[in-house]
Amino acid sequence: MAWLAKALARNGLSLRAGEIVLTGAIVTSTPVALPARVVSMGITGFETLALV
C-alpha cells in the first residue's frame, strides 16, 4: 500500500477514503499476442470486459 500511495503521489494522485484496493488477481494471467486490436474477457456473473 505504501508503494502504491507513493507511486500515485509522484503523479499528483492519491488514494481516497473508501476506495478499494485489490492486492491480488481474480483471474490467471493470459498471454496476449501483439499487436492485438481488442482483448476481452468474461467472468460468470459479470459483464464482459473489452480493452480496445
Beta carbons of 42 and 48 less than 8 angstroms apart: yes
Check residue 34 and give its pLDDT. Answer: 87
DSSP class of residue 32? -
Check residue 9 and give its pLDDT. Answer: 96
Domain positions in the chain are 1-52
Question: Going residue by residue through the chain (52 aa), what tens digit of pLDDT does each one get?
Answer: 899 999 999 999 999 999 988 888 777 888 888 888 898 988 899 999 998 8
Q: Residue written as cell 492485438? A: 36
At position 17, the amino acid (one-letter code) is A
